[in-house]
Structure 1
Amino acid sequence: MTTTPQQLLAARCPDLVGVDRFEILEPELVIEASAPGAGNDSAGVSGTDEVSTSRYRLTLRYRLLAGADEVAAFSEVVEFFAPASLESLGGHAADGDSGDDDEALLAGLARLVALAAGTSYYKVAAPTTIAVMIGPITAAEAMFVRELYDHGMREFAARNDLPVPLDQRWELEIDASRAPTRVTPDERPTSASDRLAAAGALVPVGGGKDSALVLSVLGDRAVAFTINATEAPRRVAAAAGLTLHTAARRLDPALRDWNERGALNGHIPVTAVVTAISALAARAHGCTDVVLGNERSASEPTRWVGGQAVNHQWAKSLIAEDLTQGALDAVSGGRLRTFSILRPFTEVAIASGLVTDEAQLGAFLSCNEAFTIWRPTAQRAEGTWCLNCPKCRFTTLMMAPHLSPERFEEIFGGRPLHDPDQAEGYRELWDEVSKPYECVGEMVESAAAMAELAGRDAWADAAVVRLTGESATAYAGDHHSSLAALMVPSADHRVPEPYLGWMLERLAPEPTQRSAG
């Protein structure tokens, strides 16, 4: 039985009772010239020692109101450095852009960050009215933000026993004259290969297996970028021989204070925030492409709640990718692209591509305990595996079919598949009722991977494999799934050439399923 946000707040945080409105205010972007090396400071922001840089400082503001009274105000800052001289998209001379065009592009990208990042503050009280106080936005931006606050916040709603979807009423102004402009590859000023040679493709790096594989394949064609850098993305970038460009996202400390007082809390669509910040950084670095590492399994709902799909990974899904691209088309005139280079592939196929890169095998980290925000952990500080969270279980299950038990232990520093106490946690990966609200893949691929291990002499006696192998084999059989079938790429993706060709060279030597939808 569900309740309302106001009913929850009455019990948890009476100071927020009556809040009925969330406002997204005008963001402020300031760009200042800096000397070479100025970006390498202690605030989590890095630049470069070789060239002059510009400091990008984006301030985002939000308010919660009860009637006409302001109950809470929030301000967060996103900051990074980029080369001061741009040779590609962002340079005023590159495409014949005027200063006004460039200013409008920057304002539009800042607006997308404000829309996406607002989810962190909206959830404090989840009021019914959401007001975009930024002035006219395009229809594509309106569709993006409405879907983001609906589907991207469904896990938050479900886990707080709130209605799914949440009751939301939007106040925003749409500028019908600003229709999205999709620029085809032939209409772009240079070919994709030429642009990459000049500027590179900006790749958001989380430090897990997916971004590790993207950097492994793209190599020096990539500009590695991360937000609030931890040990894992630093290692992954270093393993690829790349400089890691970093940004700092500083949440308003008041958010933590409200959480401690009992405000509503839970999952937000953080990938949408990362993508929006990365698009702004891409423009700053002269890149035209934001290349993500989201696999096809991200489109599968985690669970169904009251007949409604709830997807922990919705912001990584193909539909979210399309909505984000539509918004980018609207604000950039088709000059910025975002897509997931891993979209055609399953998690187990991605794992098969990563095991060929020894440097990345010793660098990547896909562990929930390494990515906490306000809760210090050894995994975050040291970049080590806890081997006892859903993410660790899923990642080890995807990697195991491609490794011997001995090599597995060398990489992960433990043997979770030999621990009988973890059997239930692994089985939940293909359980339609209790699948974890985590970034884990499709149930069929988890079952198929475990079934594969059950049929291999080297793994069959591992305690978890013995205890769950029969269940996994039955589930995989019922869904006509096998490890071999999961290695076939899907045609349902948006990956352009030459990126698709580069990825297929690693994961699917035969050029099948190459069409971008």
Structure 2
Amino acid sequence: MTETFCIDRPSFDPATGEARFPYRLGALAFTEVLALPAGADERTAQSPSFRKLLDLTAIVLGVSYFKLRAPFAIAAPDIPLTASERAFVIDVYENGMGEFYARNQLARFGRLSLSAPEDAEERKPAPDLPERTLLPIGGGKDSLVSADLLAHTGVAFTPFAVNPKGPILSSIAAIGTEPLYVTRTLDAEMIRLGQQPGFYNGHVPSTAINSMVAALCAVLYGYSQIVLSNERSASEGNVMFDGRETNHQHSKSLGFELLIADVLANATGGALRYFSLLRPYSEARIASLFTQSTKFDSVFSSCNRNFRLTGNDGPLWCGECPKCHFVFLIFAPFMAKDRLLAIFGKNLLAEPANERSFRELAGLAGQKPWECVGEILEAAACFYTLTRHADWHEDAVVRAVKADLFAQYGEEKLQLAMAECLTDSHDHHIPAALAAKVAAYAV
């Protein structure tokens, strides 16, 4: 394959808020457009920090166009990169695209080349960013738990979203704070070609993409920190492929968080912080925190049907996908049964047709689904809790998996796993003062 994926220099008009990102793939040309709030300060838009972040955003957004042919050569002829930025780009295009390669059987790990000019200035001058917080909202439970933790620890924040729809809009409405929205318009020809023979399609690291867009907004509109809502479970991979563990949630992992946090800090002279507030927690622990308030019960959803390009005209929860099954499973040990059934509209553990999906989540069949779901042992531990729970132990799926669950893991291992799920980790990147406040509240 001799094609090169070429990332040209992006442009930004502060008066209109329009950023344009041009790409070339062989003879094909594409342009992606971001619409940021209009009327940004022109001097800020011309600052070294914003220019650097705009260039890096162009590279990260490029994965959507690169994947059409997945060539071995990537070129950014007009975008200077430092050594650490090169490592970051290769990580995005290798590990961030790991699921895409695995599902398309493409060997790319360690084989990609990146051509770009050298940037000898490792750290840009620091812009003056006020102490304000940008909180990306995804519409699911996690970012709403972050919103609750920030509110209770006295940290004001602005909800942030790219192309908000469905549960993102309803969740932000329930938060009740003025948001900052960005509209992302993918090139229509890229979308069309992705459905044609001779071109590839598949997963891209959306958290990396949205994080770079958030960083643009942080510098442009004055925010000193971007607070993510990625849990520790996100660091667990799905399968081994091409000699490497691939992870559907790579750009939510702790490893990627540390990498991008360093890149954003260098691009802004240390002025911009990036970390996940939920990194100490398992998915089960986050579920237990969510149950402390009912105000988001009718507005949130993790079901992917809400986030399709074509929209969703059905309920917030389809009840059929691995995301629905996993969220139901981790809520069940902590939430009153009638409340959980009211959220989902039905009892997903009472339907035998769901058994195979639940078995995959708990490591009793197949592989961990290519979804944003928690650790396999965590799911198994939640099942163990349900086998001993008066409200759930008689449900069809719980009864069906019980014997195999005990045979594969043993009671002692499952008990210890559940205790570990509810023990907060110290392996995180949260500023010390905030971490102490959150720990004092989240008991």
Tell whether the 8 Å contact from 2:300 to 2:316 is kept in structure 1 after alignment.
no
TM-score, normalising length: structure 1: 0.80
Alignment partner of 1:243 out of 175, 178, 181: 178
Indicate the residue corresponding to 1:311 in structure 2. Answer: 247
Alignment partner of 1:135 out of 79, 96, 110: 79
- Classify the secondary structure of the residue corresponding to 1:425: helix
Alignment partner of 1:328 out of 243, 252, 264: 264
Q: Tell me whether 1:407 sits opposite 2:339 in the alignment.
A: yes
- CA distance in 2 between partners of 1:19 and 1:75 (Å): 22
Indicate the residue corresponding to 1:422 in structure 2. Answer: 354
- CA distance in 1 between partners of 2:2 and 2:413 (Å): 47
Tell whether the 8 Å contact from 2:235 to 2:250 is kept in structure 1 after alignment.
yes
Q: Tell me whether 1:492 sits opposite 2:435 in the alignment.
A: no
Q: Tell me whether 1:396 sits opposite 2:328 in the alignment.
A: yes
Q: Tell me whether 1:468 sits opposite 2:401 in the alignment.
A: yes
Tell whether the 8 Å contact from 1:420 to 1:464 is kept in structure 2 after alignment.
yes
Shift of residue 134, structure 1, vs aligned partner: 2.7
- CA distance in 2 between partners of 1:454 and 1:129 (Å): 52
Greater shift after overlay, 333-342 or 212-221? 212-221
- CA distance in 2 between partners of 1:339 and 1:125 (Å): 33
Q: Tell me whether 1:365 sits opposite 2:301 in the alignment.
A: yes
Aligned partner of 1:106: which letter? F
Alignment partner of 1:110 out of 25, 49, 54: 54
- CA distance in 1 between partners of 2:406 and 2:296 (Å): 31
Q: Residues 346-398 of structure 1, C-alpha deviation per residue, up to 9 Å, x if partnerless?
A: 0000011111121122221110111112x34324xxx6110110111111111
Shift of residue 501, structure 1, vs aligned partner: 2.9
Q: Tell me whether 1:23 sits opposite 2:40 in the alignment.
A: no
Tell whether the 8 Å contact from 1:154 to 1:310 is kept in structure 2 after alignment.
yes
Greater shift after overlay, 218-227 or 459-468? 218-227
Indicate the residue corresponding to 1:253 in structure 2. Answer: 188
Shift of residue 182, structure 1, vs aligned partner: 11
Q: 1:167 to 1:300 in 2, by over 3 A?
A: same
Q: 1:456 to 1:327 in 2, by over 3 A?
A: same
Instruction: Report 1:167-186 matches (<5 A).
Output: 167-175=111-119, 177-180=120-123
Shift of residue 462, structure 1, vs aligned partner: 0.8
- CA distance in 1 between partners of 2:175 and 2:425 (Å): 27
Structure 1: give runs of 5+ residues left out of the alignment.
Answer: 1-17, 33-54, 66-70, 86-91, 93-98, 510-517
Instruction: Give percent identity, aligned residues only.
Output: 33
Q: Residues 73-103 of structure 1, C-alpha deviation per residue, up to 9 Å, x if partnerless?
A: 1101011216757xxxxxx9xxxxxx48962
Aligned partner of 2:258: which letter? D
- CA distance in 1 between partners of 2:123 and 2:301 (Å): 38
Shift of residue 402, structure 1, vs aligned partner: 0.8
Tell whether the 8 Å contact from 2:17 to 2:40 is kept in structure 1 after alignment.
no
Shift of residue 173, structure 1, vs aligned partner: 2.1
TM-score, normalising length: structure 2: 0.93
- CA distance in 2 between partners of 1:168 and 1:328 (Å): 23
Greater shift after overlay, 490-499 or 269-278? 490-499
Q: 1:189 to 1:19 in 2, by over 3 A?
A: closer
Q: Residues 290-317 of structure 1, C-alpha deviation per residue, up to 9 Å, x if partnerless?
A: 1000000111111112542010000111
Indicate the residue corresponding to 1:207 in structure 2. Answer: 139
- CA distance in 2 between partners of 1:158 and 1:325 (Å): 27
Q: Residues 34-84 of structure 1, C-alpha deviation per residue, up to 9 Å, x if partnerless?
A: xxxxxxxxxxxxxxxxxxxxx42111111012xxxxx21110101121675
Q: 1:74 to 1:181 in 2, by over 3 A?
A: closer
Shift of residue 140, structure 1, vs aligned partner: 1.9
Q: 1:349 to 1:83 in 2, by over 3 A?
A: farther
Q: 1:209 to 1:474 in 2, by over 3 A?
A: farther
Question: Alignment length, in residue pairs?
Answer: 436
Shift of residue 246, structure 1, vs aligned partner: 1.2
- CA distance in 1 between partners of 2:419 and 2:79 (Å): 52
Q: 1:473 to 1:237 in 2, by over 3 A?
A: farther
Q: Tell me whether 1:223 sits opposite 2:153 in the alignment.
A: no
Shift of residue 252, structure 1, vs aligned partner: 0.3
Greater shift after overlay, 233-242 or 347-356? 233-242
Shift of residue 450, structure 1, vs aligned partner: 0.8
Q: Residues 321-370 of structure 1, C-alpha deviation per residue, up to 9 Å, x if partnerless?
A: 11111211221111111110101110000011111121122221110111
Indicate the residue corresponding to 1:36 in structure 2. Answer: none
Instruction: Report 1:245-324 matches (<5 A).
Output: 245-262=180-197, 263-324=199-260
- CA distance in 2 between partners of 1:234 and 1:258 (Å): 30
Shift of residue 237, structure 1, vs aligned partner: 1.4
Indicate the residue corresponding to 1:61 in structure 2. Answer: 22
Shift of residue 139, structure 1, vs aligned partner: 1.7
- CA distance in 2 between partners of 1:84 and 1:261 (Å): 39
Aligned partner of 1:130: which letter? I
Aligned partner of 2:17: which letter? Y
Indicate the residue corresponding to 1:11 in structure 2. Answer: none
Aligned partner of 1:212: which letter? L
- Classify the secondary structure of the residue corresponding to 1:225: strand
Structure 2: give runs of 5+ residues left out of the alignment.
Answer: none
Tell whether the 8 Å contact from 2:125 to 2:268 is kept in structure 1 after alignment.
no
- CA distance in 1 between partners of 2:68 and 2:32 (Å): 15
Indicate the residue corresponding to 1:442 in structure 2. Answer: 375
Indicate the residue corresponding to 2:36 in structure 1. Answer: 80
Instruction: Report 1:140-179 matches (<5 A).
Output: 140-163=84-107, 165=109, 167-175=111-119, 177-179=120-122
User: Over the residues paired in the alignment, what is the CA RMSD in angstroms?
Assistant: 2.3
- CA distance in 2 between partners of 1:84 and 1:113 (Å): 18
Q: 1:399 to 1:182 in 2, by over 3 A?
A: farther
Q: Tell me whether 1:234 sits opposite 2:178 in the alignment.
A: no
Tell whether the 8 Å contact from 1:270 to 1:315 is kept in structure 2 after alignment.
yes
Shift of residue 136, structure 1, vs aligned partner: 1.7
- CA distance in 2 between partners of 1:277 and 1:258 (Å): 25
Indicate the residue corresponding to 1:5 in structure 2. Answer: none
- Classify the secondary structure of the residue corresponding to 2:429: coil
- Classify the secondary structure of the residue corresponding to 1:330: helix
Shift of residue 497, structure 1, vs aligned partner: 3.4
Shift of residue 164, structure 1, vs aligned partner: 5.3
Tell whether the 8 Å contact from 2:134 to 2:225 is kept in structure 1 after alignment.
yes
